[in-house]
Structure formats: structure tokens, C-alpha cells
Structure 1
Amino acid sequence: MPALFRHPRVHTGDNRPGVTGILVTDGVITATGDANQLAALHTGLDVVDLPGELVLPGMHDAHIHTAAVARSLVGLDLRAATSLADALALVRAHVDTMPDGAWIFGGRWDSNKWQVPVQPTAADLDQVSNGHPIALSSIDGHTMWANTEALRLAGITADWADPPGGEAVRDADGNPTGILREEAQGPIESLYEGPASGDLASLLLLAQDELLSVGLTSVTDLNGEDARAAYLRLKAEGNLKIRVTKGIPRDSLAAAIAEGRRSGIGDDWMRVGAVKLFSDGALGSRTSHMSRDFHGYPGNHGMPVMTTAQLYDAARTAVDAGIAVATHAIGDQANHLVLDVYERIRAETGTRLPLSIEHTQFLQPADVERLVRLGVTASMQPTHCTSDIALVDALLPDTDLVAYGWRSLIDAGAMVAFGSDAPVEEANPFFGLHAAVTRQRPDGTPDGGWRPDERIAIDEAIAAYTSGSARLAGDFDRKGRITPGRLADFIAVDTDITGDAVATDPGRIRDTRVLQTVVGGRTRWSRD
């Protein structure tokens, strides 16, 4: 039966005023306009009055690791730790709840924010391990803290050679200290991401409700093939409630091509996305590839994870097979080199496949125009900016780089898509909208925002989190706005974040609560 969804305030995303009704048939929006007029023109409607103060298009997280989000529901969380001692106490408490010999995974530790920012070691973890192998990812996911048992099981010893794009930190005698950076995490990840993490499909079923509850109706997932298999299982069982664009890990690219996967293949619930490549690491781990040294760390300007030649070969292989490319780049030198690769591929192939830079945190000013000219999407996560303020000020003081520059990019005509990078940051898109508009931490600091010239308007931020993400996923004609012909994905919230009251008190954006989430014309989550 066709349904008429009614609400006095509908933000359609295309600047159409006066919409109070959304007519939906078979999961697709067939008309929008005045609710009374729509009701008069159509009989036999199921009328649904949406709650709250505003209806928005469903949010689309352009960069999220949903398998990691799902595993975080049962994994160890060290974000509350303010010191090494705190972290070890939390590990000990978690160990006591686990069966003998089980892997301890999770983490999300951030030694940069500890009262004494020391680098932890395997020996520290060994004190509280009680025989368990332990592997704990840092908050940015680019560093792992492992104990001696985990290192042993993975074969990481003094004789183990660092892989390209990775490093096992070593002591004066050459023994691994327990800190693994970038690609050096792989041997342990391959061990604990299997049965040790539980049934991923069941965890994703729980995670879906978490994501729906914050207004996400679509995600671009950048986890591995195990997540793809789990989503396919949920879909086959009729349990997929959120739309998924599924990325391809670099090490699965050849197999994906052999299977015939191409970007865009699939249906409205699950489609093939881009291959995920890496140019560098992360700022917090001081592995982001910069054109200058980090302040206080002479000789350290980060590290490339893949050489330019490797990036080109992988990206060209993907494009030739009809697969889009999404490349992680944080440092300005990493972004510059990715643009070099993309420029060469555009020139050689003329491809119109989506090419994106994931994070796009630091750009050389001249590269802003180049990104626009090449039609590259800046896939950004606004809460990274507000989480990193102190880190940027410490490591890159007085930098003249374009830093988390969504205003500069939008003004230059760039395509911008927003996401969260959860579980590195919280998945809640209203946290990201707040960060994009204010450039302030949750406590309202700094006054006026950090680098306030890069703030954007709420309408621009909403667009980046909806139509911008849909465009990058190749779904702009089906998602991202509340208009006829698009999928009936929308949310009702308790705050009119587009109104004058919020304009004078933008902190309210962050406090916004979702009351109802509709996907495909059906209520998939409700606060009631």
C-alpha cells in the first residue's frame, strides 16, 4: 500500500520549500509536496506522521569500518584510559572475564592523550595477560600494541623482516617491543580476526541498529572480505536493514576482478564499491607522509605505505577492470603523490570512475585546484579535525598547509563527502555535522573554532553527509535527497538543525537525537 509520510518541516536537500508530505510506493519516493494536496490526490494511503522537529535525508557515512564497529561491541575499549596504568587496569579487568587462552582484541587507546604520553610495550601487557594473546589497535588503527604471546603466535621475532610500508618497533638489541605500525600489523590481524572475534554476521546485526539509531541509512564500508561475506549472509536471510556499498581491500583486488566484481554492480541494498589503497599512515602515529618533519621529531616526516609505483599499478589495475579507487592519504606529501597517480590515470584512460582521497587532511595549496580539476572527491571525516586540534598544533605548528579544509575545497568547486571513520571516531553523523560547522570540540573549545575560516554552513555539511556520499558511491540518482525517484530513506530528529535557533547555538547540532529512521519506506528503527 502506498504511504504518505507527513511532517511540517522536511529538508529535501534540493532547496524545495513547503514540502510537508512524502508519498512512497514500493520503497521509492513517488511525489513530494503539500501533504493535504497529496492526500486529496491519492486514496487508500497509509498515513504516517513523523515525530520531532525536522525530517532529513538519511545520512550516508562515506568512510566507515562496520566490522570493526561491530567487533567493538564486544572488544576491549581503552578510550577512557588517561595513563598507561589506567590502560593496564582495564586490560586486566577484561582478561578476567575471558575464557582461558582466548584472544583479547579491541583497543582504541591513545597514548597522545595520556597524562604521560609514553609508548607502551609488550612487557607492560605481559604483566596483565594471564596467558592470553593480546593485540590492541590504537585509536587511529595504524598502530598495534601486542603482548609477547601475540608476537610469538604471529612469528614476529628479532629475525622477522619489516614488510614494505610497515615497521615493528625494536629495542637496542633488535627485539620487537610490541608496537607494530601500519603493514606490520598484518600477521597478527590475520590470526585474531577469525573465530576469536565471534560470529561477525551476528555482531553486524547488532551494529546495524546502532547505526540506524544515529540516522545512518547507508554506509560505504571499508573493512575486509569477511565483512562482505557477513553482509551477503544478512541479505540472504532478509536481515539487511542498512544499505551497503562494499569496498574491496587491496589484497583482494585480483580475486574480485576474477569474480567479475565491478563498482556499482549489485542492487539497492548492496553494491560493489571502490578498491581501498593506502598512501600513508596517520597523524597520531606520526606515520602520515608529510613534506616536512614533525615538530620535535627531527628526521621524521612520516612514511609512505605504498610507493608511487605500487599505487599506480594497483589503481590502474582496478580502473582497467571497472573498479573505482579510494586511496587513504593524510599527509600533504601523501595527498600530492596520490594526485600524481590519479592525474596520470585520468590522462591515460579517460576514466570517469569515481576516484577519491580518503581523509584529505593536509593539502599543499596548489593541490586544491588540482583535486578539483581531476574530479577527485575529498572523502573527509570532520570529527578527525576536532579530535586532532592539539596534535596538529604540537606536530605542525603554524603550518601553511590547507588543514581539514572543507571550506577551501567547497569554495574551489570540489566534490566533498563526509563520514566518520568509525570506530576511530563515533559513527554519529551529528557529531560530524557539528565539527564541520563549528570546528570546535564537544566542550565548545576553541572559542570561535579552530581555523574558523574553514567552517561551513549546516546545509553544506548536510549535503556532504547525504548527497555528497551518495555521489561518491555512484548512487546520486537513487539516494541523498528527498525527491521523487529516489529511495525512501529519511530520518526524523528532535532538533531543527537548519533553524535560526541552532544558527545562534550550533552546539545543539551535536546533541540532536534521531527519533525514527525510515529505509525503503519502512521504519527500521524508532526511539519509542
Structure 2
Amino acid sequence: MTVTFSNARLLDGRLVDVTVTGGVISAVTPAGEVPARGEHIQLDGHLLIPGLWDQHTHFTQWAQSSRRVQLGEAQSAADAAAMLASYADAHPDGDLVGVGFRDALWPDVPHFELLDEALSHGDIGDDGPERRVVAVSADLHTVWLNSAALKAHGFREHPSGVLREQDAFAVIDALDEVSVETVDRWVHEAAEAAAARGVVGIVDFEWGYAPGDWLRRFAAGFDELRVSAAFYPDRFDDALSLGVGGGEPLEESGLLTLGPLKVITDGSLNTRTAYLREPYHGHTGDGARGQLTVPPDELVALLRRAVRADLGAAVHAIGDHAISHALDAFAITGARGSIEHAQLVLPEDLPRFAALRVTASVQPEHALDDRDIAERYWGARCAHAFPLRALTDAGAELALGSDAPVAPLDPWVAIAAAVFRTRGDRPAWHGEQTVSVERAVQASVRSSIAVGQPADLVVLGADPREADVAALRSQPVVATMLAGRFSFDVIR
């Protein structure tokens, strides 16, 4: 299949014709210089950019999230319990899973008894309620269970029903309220929706074993996106058994590749477990500085193993102390990869990203979700929070993503957050850390518009450089091409 896009405007201002043949770009010439080949699509000066990537997702959870009870608007634990109870009344069968709550600023404390009482309307049998309820926090680092769910997940004697970090991850991974066939259908639908926003690829950090899930899906015909499927330390041997290095194809189409080893070294801001050099405001004693969940020597050992296997590494580090430890481990081992989130970065650590060639994989929308929580618990340290401009000025490579379902899987939401540092009427939060549209787009792609590059392309319906924050968040996309074929288009 050969397609020529005529009179395409590039972000650098050039007006060109771009020809695609066999899944790659075969020609880029000044507009009108040579006759169009194959199918001819006249763009009339519309912007053509490389295909967009979401470089941090939990894709299965994202596909499921819209079907779960939305708790993002809850202003208290009591609110969240009432929302779950209301949904339960309207949907009397099956377990309940709520998503998206943020408890860091709640005036009350979540507890399993609150869920038990709300969902039973005060009528609880001797053995407690039978219906299991699990509420997953927006940052995915906390789960709140009722007594039935606590029993089912092996936490019968837990004092509060609120589980954090590794215990929370285990519960999330075990949620199975729908069948694999249903989830895979939802994954297809979510991928089609992503393509409509210009997405050609994702990095999937889903818990469990993402390479295995995606091998199943691609064998069944999935072809809507490129997928880099990451894995966790407990599945290292399974990843090695695939017999490929990092970034190498796992199946015939070449769209599925083995992603990096993912290591979670600290917690999150909302859960107050991101690992800091100084305590969270108002916190004392053990845990006042958060949690370092992987000690430095263990992290070094894991990265060394990744190096020996020719695999990349993606190290989750949010707090400033965790980020310092992660950079130290990259320096010691020479591993290649990224620090995921990089939310609170010490000024002296900024240049180390470029020096070590460690990508800062960031999710700009989190800054807008977390600004009030950060101000309360990090205070003046917020001058170094989500430091996109500072990282860029220090020479770091940025990679933008969503951490979906923590934020929507929509690259224009992330780009707008990076460019404006607000999403409504509030003033920009630390506007000195904004970046340009061009820089944000560059951090959202993995290819370029040049001969020999993958034919992953997006046609835009408006110039994002002329958009205000609302327009940029809803940036119109009129076509998405993946490997030389259209995964979405309204122009033909």
C-alpha cells in the first residue's frame, strides 16, 4: 500500500509531500516537487506530526476503569461509601469495584466498617456482609476494602481495611470481576479510542505479566497499537524465557515488543509514601519520610541483571530521596532506561538525568491532580515538583504519559498540562515549569517524519500552537496512521 500526503505542514514550518510505502516513510519532498504516488490525500496545509505514544499506562485497568464506580468526586470517606452504596442499590449483583478516590485531603478516615454499614444499610449478619467491595485510589497505591473483601483477599484480621503499596498491588492484580474475554474486548475498544486521539503506541506497566497478556491479544488479532509490554521482578525469568532483548519484537507483526523491567522503589504523594529526604509536613515518627520499598543494594542488583540480559529498566521513583537512589543505581550499573514519575527532583539531581542518559518519564496531568496535596505535604519543596522545564533545561530527555487510569489516556491532556500547568480558571501552578507545544509533542513521540522512519503519522485538525488550554486538551485529530495503514481517519 502506497499513500501520499500532499501539502502537509510540519511543526518546523516546512510544507511537504510525504509518501508512505510498506509501513515506512519512503519520501519527504517539498510540496508539489514530484507527482503523488499511490492513494493521494490532500492535506491543504494541515499539520502532520509523528504518531503519539503514551509512555506510561496500566492498560487493562484503563480499559476497565470506565465500567467501575467512579469515586473521583468524593470529598470524604463518607461520600465515597455513599457513592458505592448508591451504585450497589442500582446494581444488586456481583462484587463492587470503585476507582479514583483521593483521600489525602479527606476530613475523615476510610475504614472497612464504614463500607459495611453503608452497603448493608445497618443490617449486617453475624458473619459480616457477603458482597465484596474494593475501592482503588486514583494513584493505585491504596485500596480500601470492606470486611467481605478483606476475607476474600487474605486480610481477615486487618484493623482498618485500608491497604497500601505491595498489599494494595496484590489486591488490584487479583481483581477478576469480569472474564478475560470481556476484558480483552474492552482493551480493543480502549485502543480504538486511543487511536482516535493520535496514539500509535503505549508502554504498558500493567501488574501481573503484561507480555503474556499481549501475546494472547495479538494472537487473537489485536493490531490497533504498538505495545511495549513491561514486566516486574517476580516475572524476570518468564521475560528471559521469551528469548529476546529489550525493545525486540515478540510476534510476527512487530507491533508487540518486550518492554523494560519495572521496579517500584517508593510509594506516591497521595498515599504519603513517596520517599523524601525530609518529612511530610505534619508527619513524625516512622514513615514520616515515606517508604523506600526497594533498598539501594537490591535495586543495583536488579539493574545489573537487566544489563546482563540486554533489557531496559524503568524505575518508579517519586520522592526526591528515591530519585537520588535511582540515579545512583543507574550510575553504578550503566543500565539504560527511565525514572518513572520523577515528581520531586533535587536541583543537584537535574543534570544527572542527561549525564546518565536516563529518561525522565513524566505524567504532567498529575501535577494538576496533586497540586493541592503537594502544597499541603511538600510546602516550599513544590518549587522542585514536576520540574519539566528544569529537566529540559538540564538536557534531560522527557517522555510524556498518563499513568492511565490515574489520568486519562489522551496525549493532548498530558501535552496541555505540560504547556499550561492548569486545566481551568486557576492560575498556572509553578508556571515557570511549563514547556512549549513543540517540546511537549517531541516528548510524546518515538519517531520522526523522515525517510526510513515508521509510517506512524497523525493529521491534526487545528494548530495546537494557537490553542488555549481548553482547546489543546481537546485537540482535534482527523487521521492516525499506524505502520502505513489507517487506525483512525475522518479525511478519506
TM > 0.5 fold call: yes
CA distance 1:103–1:253, change in 2 (3 Å): farther
Q: Which moved more, 1:272-281 or 1:402-411?
A: 402-411
Shift of 1:7: 4.4
What SS does the corresponding residue of 1:247 show, helix, strand or coil?
Answer: strand
Partner residue, 1:526: 489
Structure 1 Cα separation of the partners of residues 150 and 373 of structure 2: 29
CA contact 2:134–2:144 (8 Å) conserved in 1: yes
Is 1:386 paired with 2:368?
yes
CA distance 1:319–1:103, change in 2 (3 Å): farther
CA distance 1:255–1:136, change in 2 (3 Å): same
Structure 1 Cα separation of the partners of residues 420 and 331 of structure 2: 33
Q: Percent identity?
A: 29
Q: 1:260 aligns with which of 227, 231, 243?
A: 243
Structure 1 Cα separation of the partners of residues 399 and 212 of structure 2: 26
1:430 maps to a residue whose letter is W
Partner residue, 2:263: 277
Partner residue, 2:184: 201
1:325 maps to a residue whose letter is A
Partner residue, 1:152: 151
Structure 1 Cα separation of the partners of residues 133 and 185 of structure 2: 23
Structure 1 Cα separation of the partners of residues 22 and 98 of structure 2: 41
Is 1:456 paired with 2:435?
yes
1:517 maps to a residue whose letter is T
So what's the TM-score if we normalise by structure 1? 0.85
CA contact 2:8–2:18 (8 Å) conserved in 1: no
What SS does the corresponding residue of 1:67 show, helix, strand or coil?
Answer: helix
Is 1:331 paired with 2:300?
no
Q: Which moved more, 1:379-388 or 1:514-523?
A: 514-523
Partner residue, 1:443: 424
What SS does the corresponding residue of 2:331 show, helix, strand or coil?
Answer: helix
CA distance 1:222–1:363, change in 2 (3 Å): same
Shift of 1:279: 0.9
Is 1:481 paired with 2:462?
no
Q: How does 1:181-192 map to 2 (within 5 A)?
A: 181-192=164-175
Q: Which moved more, 1:456-465 or 1:199-208?
A: 199-208
Q: 2:283 aligns with which of 297, 304, 326?
A: 297
What SS does the corresponding residue of 1:112 show, helix, strand or coil?
Answer: coil
CA distance 1:225–1:78, change in 2 (3 Å): same
CA contact 2:8–2:44 (8 Å) conserved in 1: no
2:472 maps to a residue whose letter is I
Instruction: Note the residue ranges of structure 2 that are not aligned, 5 or more in a row.
Output: 121-129
Partner residue, 1:5: 5
1:459-482 residue CA offsets vs partner (Å, 9 max, x unmatched): 11110111xxx3xxxxxxxxx222
1:230-263 residue CA offsets vs partner (Å, 9 max, x unmatched): 3223322333211111111221112212342420
Q: 2:102 aligns with which of 81, 88, 110?
A: 110
Partner residue, 2:401: 419
Structure 1 Cα separation of the partners of residues 148 and 229 of structure 2: 34
CA distance 1:51–1:65, change in 2 (3 Å): farther
Structure 2 Cα separation of the partners of residues 381 and 27 of structure 1: 30
CA distance 1:272–1:495, change in 2 (3 Å): same
Shift of 1:60: 0.7
1:68 maps to a residue whose letter is Q
| Alignment size in residue pairs | 477
What SS does the corresponding residue of 1:388 show, helix, strand or coil?
Answer: helix
Structure 2 Cα separation of the partners of residues 360 and 425 of structure 1: 16
CA contact 1:151–1:188 (8 Å) conserved in 2: no
Structure 2 Cα separation of the partners of residues 75 and 272 of structure 1: 29
Structure 2 Cα separation of the partners of residues 110 and 208 of structure 1: 27
CA contact 1:201–1:233 (8 Å) conserved in 2: no
Structure 1 Cα separation of the partners of residues 490 and 4 of structure 2: 20
Q: 2:112 aligns with which of 101, 111, 122?
A: 122
CA distance 1:321–1:303, change in 2 (3 Å): same
What SS does the corresponding residue of 1:304 show, helix, strand or coil?
Answer: coil
Shift of 1:196: 5.8
CA contact 1:88–1:125 (8 Å) conserved in 2: yes
Structure 1 Cα separation of the partners of residues 42 and 85 of structure 2: 50
Shift of 1:491: 1.6
Partner residue, 1:168: none
What SS does the corresponding residue of 1:298 show, helix, strand or coil?
Answer: coil
1:422-463 residue CA offsets vs partner (Å, 9 max, x unmatched): 1101111111111111212x11421xx222221111111110
Structure 2 Cα separation of the partners of residues 178 and 225 of structure 1: 23
Q: Which moved more, 1:62-71 or 1:515-524?
A: 515-524
Structure 2 Cα separation of the partners of residues 437 and 144 of structure 1: 32
What SS does the corresponding residue of 1:177 show, helix, strand or coil?
Answer: coil
RMSD over equivalenced CA pairs, Å = 2.3
Structure 1 Cα separation of the partners of residues 39 and 181 of structure 2: 41
Q: How does 1:88-99 map to 2 (within 5 A)?
A: 88-96=81-89, 98=91
Shift of 1:296: 1.7
Q: Which moved more, 1:104-113 or 1:364-373?
A: 104-113
CA distance 1:107–1:196, change in 2 (3 Å): farther
Structure 2 Cα separation of the partners of residues 215 and 85 of structure 1: 39
